[in-house]
């Protein structure tokens, strides 16, 4: 379980909403574990808030009001904020809909052409607190030494790598490499 000290953003959000709205119901859920972020991150939150202040206010204005209160957090690390903001008359103590599983970062399928294999990942309900599981790896092209462009006949698309001298090397060798171009093209016109 996370300590109070490690819940800095969550505690700040809770305090701001409590002070500004004096809510009858305030639920704050850190949903970061459902996304492709490091463990114990505070980047994705769900806010369920019921306040008299929302009486007669359209949904979009309620959301904007909550977003305005949390402007600093949204600018400094909170990536996503799901908001359920209701007046006491709208609140029937019904369960709030669960948030959907993350579809970004590592979704259900990833094709990594650089390494010439297909990785299929899936997050199941039982895996919500775990890393995405690799379910299957299929070799797309078994040819050793294939170029990054995955064309079997390619003799190499790149200048020789300073690390391995290959014209076909993967991205690991080319990190921080100064790229050299003979010709480049912009908007369909060749430039030199």
Residues 21, 57 share a domain: yes
Instruction: Provide the whole-model pTM.
Output: 0.50
In a domain, 45, yes or no: yes
Evaluate if residue 30 carries a pLDDT over 70.
yes
Evaluate if residue 158 carries a pLDDT over 70.
no
Token reading at 164: 């391995």
| Contacting residues for 86 by C-beta, under 8 A, at least 6 apart | 49, 50, 54, 62
CATH label of the domain that carries residue 76 = 3.30.300.90
| pLDDT tens figures, 55-90 | 999 999 999 999 999 999 988 888 888 899 999 988
Q: 40: pLDDT confidence band, cut at 50, 70 and 90? A: confident
Residues 66, 23 share a domain: yes
| pLDDT tens figures, 98-143 | 666 655 554 433 333 333 333 333 444 444 444 444 443 333 334 4
Cα–Cα distances in angstroms (integers) from residue 106 to residues 119, 122, 132, 164, 166, in the given order: 10, 8, 8, 30, 30
Domain with 185 in it: 151-192
Sheet holding 25-30, edge to edge: 25-30, 44-50, 80-86
* pLDDT greater at residue 24 or residue 124: 24
């Amino acid at each position: 379980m996370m300590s109070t000290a490690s819940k800095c953003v969550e505690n700040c959000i809770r305090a701001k909403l409590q002070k500004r709205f004096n809510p009858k119901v305030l639920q704050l859920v850190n949903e970061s574990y459902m996304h492709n972020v490091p463990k114990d991150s505070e980047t994705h939150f769900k806010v369920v808030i019921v306040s008299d202040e929302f009486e007669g206010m359209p949904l979009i204005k309620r959301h904007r009001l909550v977003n305005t209160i949390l402007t600093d957090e949204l600018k400094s690390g909170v990536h996503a904020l799901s908001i359920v903001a209701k007046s006491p008359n709208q609140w029937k103590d019904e369960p709030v809909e669960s948030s959907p599983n993350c579809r970004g970062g590592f979704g259900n399928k990833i094709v990594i052409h650089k390494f010439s294999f297909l990785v299929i990942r899936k997050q199941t309900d039982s895996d919500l607190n775990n890393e995405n599981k690799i379910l299957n790896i299929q070799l797309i092209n078994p040819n050793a030494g294939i170029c990054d462009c995955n064309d079997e006949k390619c003799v190499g698309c790149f200048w020789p790598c300073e690390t391995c001298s290959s014209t076909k090397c993967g991205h690991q060798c080319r990190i921080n490499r100064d790229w050299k171009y003979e010709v480049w093209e912009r908007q369909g016109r060749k430039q030199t």
